[in-house]
Amino acid sequence: MSGNGNAGNAAATAEENGSKMKVIRVGTRKSQLARIQTDSVVAMLKALYPGLQFEIIAMSTTGDKILDTALSKIGEKSLFTKELEYALEKNEVDLVVHSLKDLPTVLPPAFTIGAICKRENPCDAVVFHPKFVGKTLETLPEKSTVGTSSLRRAAQLQRKFPHLEFKSIRGNLNTRLRKLDEQHEFSAIILAVAGLQRMGWQNRVGQILHPEECMYAVGQGALAVEVRAKDQDILDLVGVLHDPETLLRCIAERAFLRHLEGGCSVPVAVHTVIKDGQLYLTGGVWSLDGSDSMQETMQATIHVPTQYDGPEDDPQLVGITALNIPRGAQLAAENLGISLASLLLNKGAKNILDVARQLNDVH
């Protein structure tokens, strides 16, 4: 999974430690997508540690319960994680599987992200109402309503497709698709490609929005495993799941968001690529209606590790612990994110974000 030469040895040691624990308890949200994602991580762990038992414990989070308010209005950074972290703190579970994009860039001090799995397609997709199948956003009729729970998507797409109207839609994937198909309020909805693929609903994807049309959320398409920061046995156990390329891209993205002090109440988006030892990060900020925007691209030299080079006793970066990935590469990725955020802030991005925050609070 991780491309590390000594992943097998690390797995063997972790399994030895893990065998003292008898059953590894894995926390997850209750939605079908969350369960599918958790099952996929547990399957990888079972393949690595055939001698261990895993028990999945599902629970509801604040974000699952508050369904009548736009996410950006609730003003809570850990909407989909707080209850799971509480169970982790109380030692009711040993690790928790999240969509990385749901995890704030600053975690409570007792927790860390112990693994970031290989990223799936991070782009957004358009799912059309049955009567508009075959259309694109460009060819939808004037004043068609498009549903999205994300300010980031709405801001970028309003700018690109001014003939459309964008409206908040909440609920898990099943609920949103049902609202689209059974009510006549929405002509289309925007969802993450990765979620649709994991649910086996690729056939509903009517259009994939490439980064030139709509950049994605920080960490979108990647799964994260959150653990107790001081639980070395579990850290060793899950650490072999780190995908080096995904990890470095997501460190850069999270550092960018953290330095901008962005969250789900402001439109911030990214696009990352690693090519020929270079990590390219494009980041942007938008006003709520998309009329004002700013984006830039920077790059840094980064060598994606193929060889495990021994443990390093280093603190976390943007909430992530990856002791089996060279520290220099991680720091280069973090510095790239900070540098790009600083560049945008120096060019006036803070004003765009402040206005977006104020307007979001008012409406």
- Per-domain residue ranges of the chain: 23-121+218-362, 124-208
C-beta separation of 188 from 132 below 8 A? yes
Higher pLDDT, 129 or 6: 129
Among 166-180, 199-213, 220-234, 347-361, where is mean pLDDT lowest? 347-361
Q: Tally Cβ neighbours within 10 Å of residue 266.
A: 25
Burial 124-141 (b: 16+ CB within 10 A, else e): bbbbbbeebeebebeebe
Could you tell me whether strands 111-116 and 124-128 are parallel, antiparallel, or unpaired per DSSP bridges? unpaired
Number of H helices, E strands in the chain: 12, 13
Reference 245, options 328, 313, 311, 306; nearest CA is 306
Task: Please state the rounded mean pLDDT for residues 211-221.
Answer: 97
Whole-angstrom distance between the N-terminal and C-terminal Cα of the chain?
45
pTM above 0.75, yes or no: yes
What's residue 2's pLDDT? 41
Hey, is 222 helix, strand or coil? coil
- The mean per-residue pLDDT over the stretch 110-132 comes to 97
pLDDT for the residue 29: 86
- Say if residue 75's pLDDT is above 60: no
- CATH number of this structure's domain 124-208: 3.40.190.10
Q: Looking up tokens 């850069």, which residue turns up?
A: 252
Q: What is the pLDDT of residues 6-37, one digit of tens each?
A: 455 555 555 555 445 579 999 998 889 999 99
Q: How confident is the model at residue 239 (pLDDT cuts 50, 70, 90)?
A: very high
Mean pLDDT lowest among 191-195, 245-249, 260-264, 282-286: 260-264
The answer to whether residue 246 scores a pLDDT higher than 90 is: yes
Q: What is the pLDDT, as a whole number, of residue 197?
A: 96
Of 102, 124, 231, 236, catalytic: 102
Quote the CATH superfamily of domain 23-121+218-362: Porphobilinogen deaminase, C-terminal domain (3.30.160.40)
Structure tokens at 324: 């089996």
pLDDT (0 to 100) of residue 74? 38
| The residue type at 314 | D
Q: Give residue 71's pLDDT band: very low, low, confident or very high (50, 70, 90).
A: very low
Can 23-121+218-362 and 124-208 be said to share one CATH topology?
no
181 annotated active-site: no
